[in-house]
Chains A and B, each alone.
Chain A
C-alpha cells in the first residue's frame, strides 16, 4: 500500500500545476433529494438470472509473456481489454475473447537523464486525441503515450492525472480534485465541472489540501458514469450520492444507515478524531466510512459501501430498487445456469471484488475478475451441476490450472 499512497501524494501536488482561469464556486441543487433508509445486513438474495441478462467468463490467455498477477485497472477499448497489473507493473492487451495481444512492460518506458527516478508505471488511462486512441501510462516523472499496439509515441510533463468523465459529446468534463485560480488565490475543489462551450469551470466542495498532511484520510468515493449525460459522485466520510449532469450537480440520494454503521455526527469537526481516524475505524469496524462508485441502471441503484471490516458476512455491495425498495446483496446472489453455476465475484474466497469492486462499467455491462485459484475452487464446489461449459471456459478448464491468469467476468444487468 505504501507506494500507492506515496503516488497519490505526488499526484496531489501535480494538481497545483493545473490552474485555470474563469472560475467560480458552484452551488448544489438539493430540491430533488431522496432519503433512503438502508440496513445493508437485511439485504436478500436472488438468482443470478433474475438480475442479469447475460454472464460471460473470459479467461485471459496464459503464456510465458502474458503471465500477470491480477487486474488493478481495466479499460475496454473497442474489441480490446487493456489491463494494468501492479505485480509486474505491465499494461497488457487482450482481445475480447481473452487472447493475448501484446504488453507494455518496464523495458518500454523511457527514463530521461534529468528524471529523478527510473520510470515505473503507476497506472494508465486511455484517451482519444485528434481521433486517435492512446494508452497514457503514468510514471512519477511524466506520462508516456503509447498506441493501442504498444508503440511509444511521446512523453508529456505537467499532465493532469485526476479522474475525469465527459458528457455532451465531450463539451462537458467532470474532473476530480484540482486547484482553481481566482485572482491571486487558488482554491482546491473535490469536484470540478468544465464547460468547454461556455468556457467556464465550476468547482464544488472546497477542500483544504493541508488536511492530507495534518489529518488521516481514509475512505472511498469517486466518479462513476452510468449514462451518456449522467454520473454519480461521492466522497469520504459522507453518505450522499451526488448526480452530475451537463448543467448541474445535485444531491440525488441521502442514505441513512443503522446506528451501528453510522459515523458520529461530529466526525469531521471534533478535533478528537484528528489523526485518530484510523484508530477509530479499527475500533468501530462496522462503521461505514463512505460510498464507493455507484450506478443507477433502470430502477436499480448499484451501491458500494466501504468499511474496514473484512468479515465475509458483511454485506457491502448492494442493489437497491428505488421503486420497490427491495434490497439485494451481491454476496447472496445464487449462481444458476446463466453463470454455469459459478459465482460472478470471488466474495467469500478471495478479496479481489472486496478490494476493487467493479473493474469497469461499459456499454451497459459490469466487469469483475477473479483468480484461477478461485475459479478452480468454484468449479470443484459446483461439481456435477453443469455438464457443459461455454467454449471459452471449457477450453480453459482443459488447458489451464490454478496458476493460470485471472478470469474476467462480464455481466449485463437487467434494466426492465
Chain B
C-alpha cells in the first residue's frame, strides 16, 4: 500500500515535470527565433572550436550561452524576436567580440555568418569587458561565478543549479552531462571530509572565482569518466570560517543546544562541535554535525533528527574537534602527498530506561514456560576518543600510521523483577535482581603500514613488498554488585539469595604483523613472461595476551567474604602463525577502442599454526592446546570494460576460517548467581572450520543519460565442527548451557542494489532498489534433543528521490522486512513482518521561508503477540532573517500524532520474547540558530 503511495507521488512528479517540458508554442505567430554563426580566427586561419558565445538581454542578464562546436559554429534557438540583445564571443587568448543584435520582426532566423576574433596582443594589459559564463581552456571546462547573477547569500550549490548540463542530485551527487563527478575539490584539495554537501552548501557563490571541471582519465581510456570538479576560490578566500549555533526550548522542558564552527587556511582545516539535548539527538561523530550544520539547511535529510526509535529517555552532551593538516598543499602529483589528521570527541550520556518483557520458552510440544519481567535502569557514561592519522606518500614509498585511543567511564543501576509461570498460568518462580556497576576502560589501537612499490623501473627485479603492524591494547576495570533473590514457589528449598561483589581487571594485548612480498616472477625470473603466472609470499603472525583478574565477594552475615570459587586469575597467551604462498595467473584480452577483458585466478595455500596456553589459579583451567590447519583460499575475478558503454566486474572467492575455542568455552567458571542461565564448558571442544564462497557482481554505466547501475553479492558458508549450544532447561525455566561441536551450520546471503536515474528539463528523479535475503541453519541441543533452528530474514527497499528546480524536494522509501525462525524437532515457528514507509519533503516558499516534513509509518506484525502500527510525523517551519540570511527561527513539531511506541519481538532457538520500553514522545520546540559565515578577510562577502 505504502509503496503504491510513494510510487504514485513519484509518477505524479514525473508527469508534472514532463508536461512542463513540453509546453507547446503557438506555431502561427512565432515569438522566438534562431541565431547562428561561425567563430573564426582569420589571423591563424582556423575556426575556434570551443569559444564561448553568450547572449545577454538589454539589462545585461544572461539569456543563454554555449560553446562553439568543432566547426566553429553556434546556434541558439528560442531567442525572443524583436528584442535588443547583445552577443559576446570570447576565447582564451582573444579579444572579446561584442555586438548588439536583434532578430527582426517577421523573421525567424538571424545568421551572423562569420564572426572574426582577433588574438589578444600579449603586451597590452588584459582588459576584461565582462567574464563569459563558461570557458573552455586546455581540456578544462571553467564556469565563471561572476557571470551568474544570484542573490548575495547564494551558495555554490545554487550556482551549479543554474549551469545547464550540470545536475546536483537530491543525494548530493553531481553529474556533468550525465557523468558523475568522482571528486569535488576546493583549491585542489579535499574540503573537510569530502562530503559534497558540506562543500556545496557552505561556500558562498561570491567567494568563488570559478569551477573547473576536467577529466582525469587514463590516456589509454579517453572515454573513461573520472571527472573532477575543482572550486577555485577568489584570492584570499581560502581563509574562512563557517558553521551554525542553535538553541532550542520546547514542551515538557525539552531542550537542545548545538554548535559547529569550521575554520580553513591553505594548509589547515579545523572543525569544532558541541551539542547537548534530551531529545535523542546525539551525533555519533563530528562529521554528522558538520554535515547537518550547512548554511543551506538540512532539506529532506533525516540524518540528524530526534531518533524516535531509540529507547529510554536520553540526555547527552558531546563536544569535539577535528583537524586536517596538509604538508604539501601545492603538490598535484598523486605520489607526492603527505597529510595528518586528528580528532577528539567527548561524549557524556545519561539514559533512563524502563520496560516490560514477556518471554515464552518452549520446552517440548505443549510444554511452555511464560515469564514476565519489569526492568528499570539508569546508565551514565562518559567517554573520550582521540584518533589521529598520518599519511606519507613520496615516489616509491608509502607510509600510513593511524592511532585511536578511547577511554570510557560508565556506571549503571538497574532493577529487574521477574516471575515465571507454567502452561496453566500457575506461578512457579520469582527472581528479583538489583545491580549496580562501575567500570572504566582504556583502549589503544595502533596501525602502521609501509609499502614499497617499484613499478617505474622495468629493469629492477624487486617490485615491492608490504609490511604492516597492528597493536591493540585494552584495559578494563569494573566493579559490580548483584543482589538476587530467587524464590522457587514449588520447591522452597531451592530458594537462593545472593549479595555479591565482582571486581574485574582485564588486560588484553593483541599484536599482528603481516608481510607480503609481491611479484615473485619478476624477482626470480626477471622479465620472463612465464605465461602470465605469478607468485606472492605472505606471512602473518598474531600474538594475543589476555589477563583476567576476578575478585568475587559474597555478603555473609553482614560482611563481605571472598568467594574462592568464583575469584580467579586467568592468563591466556595465544600465537597464530600463518605462512602462505599464492600463485596467480592472468588472462587478458584487449581490443583497442572496443573492449578490455581481464580474468585472473589466484590460489593461496596457507598453513595456520596456533598455540593457546592458559594459566589460571584454577587447575582445571590450566590448559594448553595447539591447532594445525590448512587454510586454502582461491579467487577468480573477471572484469569487462566496454569502451563508452559500461563496465562489469565479477568476482568469486573461496575462504577458509578457523575458530579456536576460548577458555570460556572449554572450561568456564560457572557463576551461579543467575540461576536462569548457567554457562558450562566442554573440554572436548575442537576448532570450528568455516568454508565460504562469495560471489559479487558490479556494473557501472558509462553512458551519459539515464544510467542504470547495479551491484549484487551472494555468499554461502558451511561450518564443520561449529561450537553450538547444548542447553538443558528444567521445569522451572532454569537453563544450563553446555557447548558441543556439530556439523551442519550453514548460511546463505544475497544482497543486491540497483540504481536508475532519469533527468527531465527542470527535474530529476532517481530510483533505488535494495534487496537482501539471509537464511541460516544452526544446530543445537535442547535437553539432549538434537535440533536445527532454521532462520530466514529478508529486507526489500525501494526508494525514490525527486527534486524540482530548487523549490521542491521529495524523498520516499518503502521497505518490507520479514524474519522467521523454525525449530523442526520442537515443532515451533515464529514469524515477523515489518513494514516501513517514509516520506520526507522540503518546500521552499521563498528564499527565506521553507517547510520540511517527514512522516514514517511503521508496522510490525509478529505471528505471536499483537501487531504494532505507529506513524511518526515531524514537521518544521524555517524562517531566515538578517541581511546575510544568517539567522533562523524554526518551529518544530515532533511526533505530531503522538504514536511513538517501542515494542520488540525476538525469536530465539526455542524462545519468543516481546518487550516494551519507554520512549520519547510528542513535543514542540522553538529553535533559534545563527549561521556565521565568512570567506576571506573582508568583512562582507561582496561581488
Contacts and interface: CB of A to CB of B under 8 A. Distances in A.
Contacts of A311: 138-139
A91 to B, nearest CB: 16
A334 interface: yes
Contacts of A6: 527
Contacts of B220: 351
A67 B591 contact: yes
Given A45-B45, A312-B139, A349 B222 contact: yes
B44 A69 contact: no
A332 B41 CA distance: 11
Contacts of B763: none
B592 to A, nearest CB: 4
Nearest to B139: A312
A310 B46 contact: no
A87 B590 contact: yes
B45 A44 contact: yes
A66 interface: no
A108 to B, nearest CB: 20
Interface in B543-599: 590-594
Interface string B67-101: 00111000000000000000000000000000000
Given A70-B592, A311-B138, A402-B644, A334 B46 contact: yes
Interface in B213-266: 219-220, 222-223
B201 to A, nearest CB: 34
B458 A69 contact: no
Interface string B137-163: 011000000000000000000000000
B593 A371 contact: yes
Contacts of A3: 529
Contacts of B223: 373
- Which label, helix, strand, loop or mixed, suits the secondary structure of the B interface? loop
Interface in A15-73: 43-46, 67-70
B219 A310 contact: yes
A46 B45 contact: yes
B594 A69 contact: yes
A228 B278 CA distance: 93
Contacts of B138: 311, 313
Interface string A370-391: 0111100000011001000000
A70 B593 contact: yes
30 contacts: A2-B458, A3-B529, A5-B458, A43-B44, A44-B43, A45-B41, A45-B45, A45-B46, A68-B591, A69-B591, A69-B594, A70-B592, A70-B593, A87-B591, A310-B219, A311-B138, A311-B139, A313-B138, A332-B46, A350-B222, A350-B593, A351-B219, A351-B220, A371-B593, A371-B594, A373-B643, A381-B69, A381-B70, A385-B71, A403-B594
B47 interface: yes
Given A373-B594, A373-B644, A381-B71, 10 more contacts: A69-B590, A69-B592, A69-B594, A70-B593, A88-B591, A117-B529, A311-B138, A332-B44, A351-B220, A406-B593
A87 B597 CA distance: 12
A312 B222 CA distance: 12
Contacts of A310: 219
Contacts of A382: 70-71
Of the listed residues B45, B139, B593, the one surrounded by the most CB atoms of chain A closer than 10 A to its CB is B593
Contact of B592 (A2, A5, A87, A312): A87
Contacts of B70: 381-382
Contacts of B44: 43-45, 332
B117 to A, nearest CB: 13
Nearest to A402: B644
Contacts of B41: 45
A382 B70 CA distance: 8
Nearest to B47: A334
A399 B464 CA distance: 49
Contacts of A372: 593
A5 B459 CA distance: 11
Contacts of B593: 69-70, 350, 371-374, 406
Of the listed residues A45, A117, A311, the one surrounded by the most CB atoms of chain B closer than 10 A to its CB is A45
Interface string B619-655: 0000000000000000000000001100000000000
Contacts of B69: 381
Interface of B: 41, 43-47, 69-71, 138-139, 219-220, 222-223, 458-459, 527, 529, 590-594, 643-644
Nearest to B220: A351
A43 B45 CA distance: 10
Interface string A70-96: 100000000000000001100000000
Contacts of A374: 593
B460 to A, nearest CB: 12
Contacts of B222: 349-351
A313 B43 CA distance: 17
B38 to A, nearest CB: 11
Nearest to B43: A44
Nearest to B333: A282
A337 B350 CA distance: 81
A53 B222 CA distance: 32
B99 to A, nearest CB: 24
A68 B46 CA distance: 35
Contacts of B71: 334-335, 341, 381-382, 385
Of the listed residues B41, B46, B220, B459, the one surrounded by the most CB atoms of chain A closer than 10 A to its CB is B46
Contacts of A341: 71
A290 to B, nearest CB: 20
Nearest to B594: A403
Interface in A223-279: none
Nearest to A45: B46
A70 B41 CA distance: 35
B266 to A, nearest CB: 23
A325 to B, nearest CB: 15
B91 to A, nearest CB: 12
A373 B527 CA distance: 34
Interface string A390-416: 000000000000110010000000000
A70 B70 CA distance: 25
Contacts of B46: 44-46, 332, 334
Of the listed residues A70, A341, A403, the one surrounded by the most CB atoms of chain B closer than 10 A to its CB is A403
A401 B755 CA distance: 28
Nearest to A354: B219
A213 B459 CA distance: 9
Nearest to B49: A348
Nearest to A3: B529
A351 B47 CA distance: 22
Nearest to A328: B45
A155 B459 CA distance: 31
B640 to A, nearest CB: 13
Contacts of B594: 69, 371, 373, 403
Contacts of B139: 311-313
A102 to B, nearest CB: 19
Nearest to B41: A45
Nearest to B72: A334
A44 B45 CA distance: 6
Contacts of A44: 43-46
A5 B527 CA distance: 11
Nearest to A70: B592
Nearest to A376: B644
A314 B70 CA distance: 17
Nearest to B459: A213
A351 B593 CA distance: 10
Contacts of A70: 592-593
A212 B43 CA distance: 45
B560 to A, nearest CB: 75
Contact of A371 (B43, B47, B458, B592): B592
Closest 7 CB pairs of A and B: A45-B46, A69-B592, A371-B593, A70-B592, A332-B46, A44-B44, A69-B591
Nearest to B590: A87
Nearest to A351: B219
Nearest to A275: B457
Contacts of A68: 591
Of the listed residues B44, B70, B219, B592, the one surrounded by the most CB atoms of chain A closer than 10 A to its CB is B592
